[in-house]
Amino acid sequence: MWSGNLRNALSSLRQSRWRTTFTMLGIIIGVVSVVTIVSLGDGLKRQVSGQINQLGKNVLTVRPGTIDGKHKSISNLNLYSYLAPSTLSLQDVASIQNLPSIQAAAPIDFVSASATGDDGQFGDVFVAGTSPGLWDILHERAAYGSLFADDSSTDQQNNIAVIGSDIATKLYSALNPVGNSIKINGQSFTIYGVLPASAGSLLSVTGADLNSSVFIPESAAQNLTNNHSNILQIFAQTKPGANLDSSVKAIQQAVSTSHNGVNDFTVLKQNELLAVSDQLVGTVTSFMSGIAAIALVVGGIGIMNILLVSVSERTREIGIRKAIGATNRQILNQFLVEGLVLTVGGSVIGIGLAMLINLLLRLYSSWRPVVSLPIIILTVGISLAAGVLFSIAPALKAARKNPIDALRGE
């Protein structure tokens, strides 16, 4: 019986190819959107997790704002503190660096969002001041040139910059522009080194995509901003063998003292930073996936509309089938199968397109989407449920038609 319904459904849908194609479009768009967004979110989680794990368990992160409670989570994060100017200062960096258990401390001091090179201005740049300790903390090495050294060296006294790989290609059309000049806020800096390409993102440990970042010595950053710091976070690397919990308490006490007893900051260990980042990415991904899933509902409504039209057009066919003995259940199943075929066809095409999009993103961008089988199964299951649900109304309308009235219909 089901094979007969399937043949009838394919035959009926084949007679209206364009209408069938446009009806499946809603399901296709919904499946592509959900699978692509979730795979991008999972890929971003993996990238951020890899970067955080690369830091090592002995690296602590100090950020403005507070996370209350014993279990640090995004639900307890005071987001309003992130909208206000940073409360962290260079005094905090010095206080942390002077602690006995701390080996190195490095700030991320935001300076500008634009820079000018040989090929014009690039307005999508993260320019930050930092200290040489950042390179060891992030385990970064220069792809070309060198990274600026300690504060006492002549490198620190000069206007030098370390740039990301995207900056090198977009502002200089070269992988190795070492020795060229880059202008930040009208001041010229000599490119001292180029960072290797990385799978960066705005949610990376530095808070910026390293490929589109420019790092300058903290003293130069202070000159550019007239000694107005905007420190987004401070990395603190503990000495080998130092107790992490004791180091966290020491940092909290030192920074709190410089803030006159106000605890308007948070010290995060590696696992806590990872948990907050995962929850943030998961929240954004879920929100975007929910919006994309609306397309599945729209696709289901489209299937319902096309089946209602089909029922009206095939009134005499329904009447003839009932007259020769077809039951209401058989008529109901026939139209349910048609809705199911539309949904399955749209889902298969949508999965194929989503896989193609993810492949293109991996090949031609820094994104690394991760497609998981459970997400595909869940998305297809939701689309099938939507297709069947919206097929019920037209199927019931067809099944309840009076055969006499149906045979009289045109």
Can you state the angle between helices 17-55 and 2-15, rounded to 10 degrees?
Answer: 100
What tens digit of pLDDT does each residue of 372-392 get? 888 888 888 888 888 888 888
pLDDT given at position 199: 59
> Using 50, 70 and 90 to split pLDDT, how confident is the model at 100?
very high
Residue 356: pLDDT over 90: yes
pLDDT given at position 7: 72
* Average pLDDT, rounded, for the chain: 80
Torsion of CA 241, 246, 249, 251, to 10 degrees: -20
Residue 153: pLDDT over 50: no
Minimum mean pLDDT among 1-5, 85-89, 310-314: which range?
Answer: 1-5
- Buried b / exposed e over 305-321, threshold 16 CB at 10 Å, is ebbeebbeebbebbbeb
Percentage of the chain lying above the pLDDT 90 cut: 16
Closest CA to 387 of 1, 24, 10, 6: 24
Residues 135-148, mean pLDDT to the nearest whole number:
87
pLDDT given at position 186: 84
> Using 50, 70 and 90 to split pLDDT, how confident is the model at 79?
very low
pLDDT given at position 68: 52
**More confidently predicted of 312 and 408:** 312
pLDDT given at position 176: 85
Q: Where are the domains of the chain?
A: 2-49+279-408, 58-265
**More confidently predicted of 101 and 22:** 101
What tens digit of pLDDT does each residue of 105-120 get? 999 998 888 888 877 7
Closest CA to 130 of 223, 239, 221: 221
Residue 357: pLDDT over 90: yes
pLDDT given at position 203: 43
What tens digit of pLDDT does each residue of 225-276 get? 888 888 888 999 999 888 988 999 999 999 999 888 888 888 888 777 777 7
Residue 13: pLDDT over 60: yes
Residue 75: pLDDT over 50: no
- d(Cα 255, Cα 197) in Å, to the nearest integer? 34
Find out whether 376 and 343 touch, Cβ atoms under 8 Å.
no
Let me know if 356 is exposed, middle or buried by CB neighbors in 10 A (0-12, 13-18, 19+).
exposed
- Beta bridge partners, 216, equal 129
pLDDT given at position 81: 46
Find out whether 228 and 140 touch, Cβ atoms under 8 Å.
no
**More confidently predicted of 203 and 231:** 231
What tens digit of pLDDT does each residue of 187-196 get? 899 999 998 8
- d(Cα 282, Cα 349) in Å, to the nearest integer? 26
pLDDT given at position 262: 85
Cβ-based neighbour number of residue 222 at 10 Å: 16
pLDDT given at position 311: 80
The secondary structure of residue 88, as a DSSP letter, is -
Residues 125-137, mean pLDDT to the nearest whole number:
88
Cβ-based neighbour number of residue 98 at 10 Å: 10
Torsion of CA 62, 67, 72, 75, to 10 degrees: -130
> Using 50, 70 and 90 to split pLDDT, how confident is the model at 4?
low
Find out whether 164 and 211 touch, Cβ atoms under 8 Å.
yes
**More confidently predicted of 48 and 303:** 303
